[in-house]
Amino acid sequence: MQQTTDGGYILGGTSNSGISGDKSQANKGPFYTYDYWLVKITATGSKTWDKTYGGNASDIFKSVLQTSDGGYILGGNSNSGKGGDKSEANKSEKPQIGDIASNFWIIKLNANGNKAWDKTIGSNGGENFAALQPTPDGGYILGGSSASAISGDKTENNKGNGLDYWVVKLKEDGSVAWDKSIGGNLDDELQSIAQTNDGNFILAGASTSNKSGDKSADNKGPALNFGYYTTDYWLVKIDNSGTNLSQYITLEPVPAKHVGDAPFTLEATASSGLPVTLKAVSGPVKIKDNVITITGVATRAVSLSSSRPPRVLSHIFLPFAFVFTTQKSCVRPW
């Protein structure tokens, strides 16, 4: 449920009912299969409209949010093939999540609840959808769990023997921009995702993994409790690895330097908070621990990177005898 900009509310859930009571549309699948059911109500609780969305099998609703255009974005799990409101077949080949092989099913609606588009996002092993959020670039960030290898929309193998966090960034039209698998050696189940002020993403969920894969610390409880693995909270912050427009490296002012001057430190900070690494690419210059020593007169290039693993941000070409010619801060996005 979410309060809408008109003061009313949008409600979402799962239903296997036919037309009755407040439900104005029949289910889309066979008897006793589930569909998404959305209800728009006024500020006083009176129903404005309701809509049923489904395919030829069960579709389990998880999330609804109003979008900046006044419409809505829905997310959940689908076991349906192409049919009904579902324009794409499932990508799952065998059950892995519970007793069904489900994929994420995302639906974009206009303000009246009419479908603009729908997308089936998944792999051949099945996924469990958890959460979504619109992003300032007009797209969407999705999160859930997957135990699949590379297949379908999944571009990375699992990190262990169980579920991993699976994060998918969509463009405004619903096409996939990028995806990431994040996990340890056992089960890691994503439950929530949000974009942070620096443009990156924070993930939260439950983990039974110890230090392994992407997990930097062991679980805090005993390995087994009454025959079951103990579970801890697991928080992960990831960068926006699509366009990464929010990632900057800022270079502090440096006076002009000449051959023979004492070594100096080039001060640089990354908006992600990760350390900045300098590397000599060409020319007579030495760099150690970000301390620069000029060893000759020529054009030289220095690369800056700030990520794990390192990703080159840019090459700065330092002309002739000078290391840096600007007298003010330099901000370079990637």
Angle CA 201–7–46, to nearest 5: 120
pLDDT of residue 302: 59
pLDDT of residue 334: 35
Does the model's pTM come out above 0.75?
no
pLDDT of residue 96: 47
Q: DSSP strand E in 200-283: where?
A: 201-207, 224-225, 228-229, 232-238, 248-251, 264-265, 268-270, 277-282
pLDDT of residue 271: 60
Cβ(174)–Cβ(132) below 8 Å = no
CA 133 – CA 64 distance, rounded (Å): 9
As a whole number of Å, the end-to-end CA separation of the chain is 37
CA 144 – CA 192 distance, rounded (Å): 8
Question: Which residues, including other chains, have CB under 8 Å from residue 42's CB and lie 6 or more apart?
Answer: 7, 8, 48
Domains located in the chain, CATH noted: 2-238 (no CATH), 248-333 (2.60.40)
Q: Which segments of the chain have a pLDDT < 50?
A: 95-99, 242-247, 307-334
pLDDT of residue 331: 40
